[in-house]
Every structure is written in structure tokens, then in C-alpha cells.
Amino acid sequence: MSQRVNKARRLAAPAAAAAAAAVVTMVVNPTLGASASDSHGAGKAPVAKNVIFINGDGMGAAARQAARLHLAGLQGQLAMDKLPVSGQLTTDPDDPKAVITDSAAAATAWATGEKTYNGAISVDVDGNPLATLGQQAKAAGKATGLVTTAQVTDASPAAFFANTANRSAQDEIARQYIQVSKADVILGGGEDWWLPAGSAGAFKDQPAEDPSEASKGTKGNLVEQAKKSGYTYVSNADQLDRAKGGKLLGLFANEEMFQQRAEGQGDVYAPVVSLSTMTSKALSTLDKNKKGFFLMVEEEGVDEFAHSNNGTRVLQSMQELEKAVAVARAYVATHPDTLLVVTGDHETGGLAVEEADAADESGTGISAEDGPFSIRGSEKTFYIDWTTSGHTGVDVPVTAVGPLADRFTGKHANTYVHDVLQQALTAGR
């Protein structure tokens, strides 16, 4: 995309998205799982008071299939696949040196509607900051929040609430969270980036499980700054449970909320607080805003463990993601004015689901097969075969329910997510 087109898009309202939304007269009823007439009147676009956007980082179609077999069985369905609207998203970046996206460029496409280079956090190809959905939701009077098992300042959540030319500047991203975008709820890992070097917080520096982890911020004590700005700070499950209303900052690990290694090499998935618990707390906190909210939820383990070709932990991460989706679906069932979207930023590992076949060459290293894994309710098993330890360029599935959900039918660029979510968040302003 040219610089001129980028500037035009930054300055102009998303007229195409608004025009397309104007012809939508049906909204999906999450309780019935079918289309129902728009209660806001014939000819009017449906209005979403709330938006819940869930990212299974690194989750392609094959990861969903593997999880479906393992968790739900041959004839079963995942909670994320029970959402009545489905489509596909392409994921390629606008990067002169790369064909395959990273999480930063992919999340920027979602958050801003712009393609950009790998490593960019909501800046265009020339490094200019772009308006984000987090900012737009705030401008519409809505509460905002993010929940992740990664660092809260990692690429995917950062793109919705910060602008920086380099995703590695996580302390700068943390500073922007509390001083600029001011998200109401921030829950996940990454305490290291909120505290200056030598000032360990709730989680000690150089822990035995990963001696490389230690406080490393350069922006002062951002935890104390957050407290002075009105945030309640929590670092364990009991504190999170007892937190009452208002702005909430929870950091539950030095870095990610797990140890992402190959199987049997120190790999651990045991977050201090589960993704579903964080999601439930975020929803109950944000729900107090009468104008609604925008919540971004992410399971990072799918991507990180796929980088290590660790099928066991990928499936465990998918199970935790499923629990978070179930929490979101339960909320939607009693709040039908909520748009819920579940997708992935890209696929990781070149994961393929294969038959258990002793005659099949399993390969070695990156091309090795992983398994066998059980199929729920069956004596059959399956294997996961990996083709890479990196990302791939395959399309990712997207499923949705609620106002404007039907717009996700078909195949779209990942930037399309921004157009739909922006319309949902700003309708009726």
C-alpha cells in the first residue's frame, strides 16, 4: 500500500465499512444460534454495545482440528466452532523483507486496518502512528481491557493500545498503557517490563526455571505509577478475586505465564491465574460501564509451544483457550448486544493432523511426528506432524456471533477485522 493511500486511510473515516454495515439488517441470536431480525428497526445497522475479540496466537485450522479431536471427539465441536458464523482471513504483511507475518504486523492489521512490516506496533510502513481500536473504543465512551497469557505488553495486545516502531520496546508499551491509552483492565504476564533493572517485584529475578528472566524496564517503576493513576495492582489469584471494580492491573509472571520449551525439556504450562479466570474477571469489571466495552483476550501458548513443536502443550493451551471462549459465550448468551469474534493472527509450526500409521516416515528434527494423541470417546488416535518451527502463510479461520457477526462470512484480508470491529464499537455515536 502506498504512503499516499496509508495517509488517506488514516485521515478518512471508514466510509466503506459504514456503508457495508448500513445494509445489514440481521443479527445473530447467540442463544438460538440462528439469525433473528434486528431489534433496532428495519433498515438500521445492528448495534454492538460490547465487543470481545479472542486471539488464539498461532492458531490455524489444523490446530483447531487437533483440539476438536482431542477435546470433543470425532463428532464433537469446540466451543469456538459452535459460533454460528464462520469465514477465513489471509495474514500476509506489508514487509519488504518478508512474506509471512509475525504477531505484531498481524495484530496491527486487526487494530488499525493497515498492513505494515513485521515488528511494527500500530505504525504504518513509514513509522507513522495509527489510530487503534483501543483508542477508538475509549473515544466512544467504552471501557477497554486486555487479557493474555503472554506479557501484557507483547505484540498482539500492544497493537490495540500502543504505537511503537519496534515490538521489543515493551517498557515503552507499558508506559503508554497507563499514560496514554489507559486501558481499564490489564491482565497477564510480563512484570519484568514494568520495573527497573534490579527491582524485582512479586516474581523474583533469575528464577530457577529460567535464569534469563529479570526486571529490565527503563521507564521507572510503572507499577507504582499505575497505582497512583488509580489502578488496583494484583499478582496472584486471591488478590485478583478480591479486587473490586475500578481500573485493574494484574501481572502474574516475569514474562509469559508458562515455560515454552520442547517436550520434556522444562516445558511448563501452569499459569498463576488461568486465562478463563482472567477473562471472567475482566468481563465482570468492564461490564460496569453503561456504554459498553472492548475486550481483547489472547492465549499465547498455542504459538509459543508450536514454535517448539510441542504438541502436548499446544493441545493444553487450546484447552485453556476453549475455557475462555466458553466464558465469553456464557456472557454473550445473557448480553446479546455483544459481538464475539474468535480467530488467530497466523498459523505456527505448519501443523498437520495425520493418521496413526507405522508405515509413515516420521522424519527427524523439525519434520518429526508428535504423538500419538487420544481422540475423546474413541480408541483411535492421531499424530501431529510439524513442517517448521516458525510461522506459515496459510489462511486462518474466524468464527463469530452477535451484531455484525455475519459480515465475517467468506474470505477476507485480516485488515477487514478492523473495519467490522470499528463499526461495532462506534455505531450510534
Looking at residue 361, its pLDDT comes to 63
Angle at 338 between CA 123 and CA 163, to 5 degrees: 10
Residue 88, beta-bridge partner list: 397, 411
pTM for this structure?
0.89
Per-residue pLDDT of the chain (429 residues; tens, 9 = 90+): 444 334 434 433 333 333 333 333 223 333 323 333 333 334 455 679 999 999 999 999 999 999 999 999 999 999 999 999 999 999 999 999 999 999 999 999 999 999 999 999 999 999 999 999 999 999 999 999 999 999 999 999 999 999 999 999 999 999 999 999 999 999 999 999 999 999 999 999 999 889 999 999 999 999 999 999 999 999 999 999 999 979 999 999 999 999 988 888 889 999 999 999 999 999 999 999 999 999 999 999 999 999 999 999 999 999 999 999 999 999 999 999 999 999 999 999 999 999 988 777 666 777 788 999 999 999 999 999 999 999 999 999 999 999 999 999 999 999 999 999 999 998 755
3-state secondary structure of 217: strand
Looking at residue 37, its pLDDT comes to 30
CB 184 within 8 A of CB 248: yes
Q: How far, in Å, CA of 389 to CA of 385, rounded?
A: 11
CB 69 within 8 A of CB 380: no
* CATH superfamily ID and name for 45-350+392-426: Alkaline Phosphatase, subunit A (3.40.720.10)
Looking at residue 429, its pLDDT comes to 53
In the chain, domain spans: 45-350+392-426
Instruction: For 355-372, give one letter per residue: b (16+ CB within 10 A) or e.
Output: eeeeeeeeeeeeeebbbe
Looking at residue 44, its pLDDT comes to 57
Looking at residue 38, its pLDDT comes to 37
Q: Is the peptide bond before 403 cis (omega within 30 degrees of 0)?
A: no
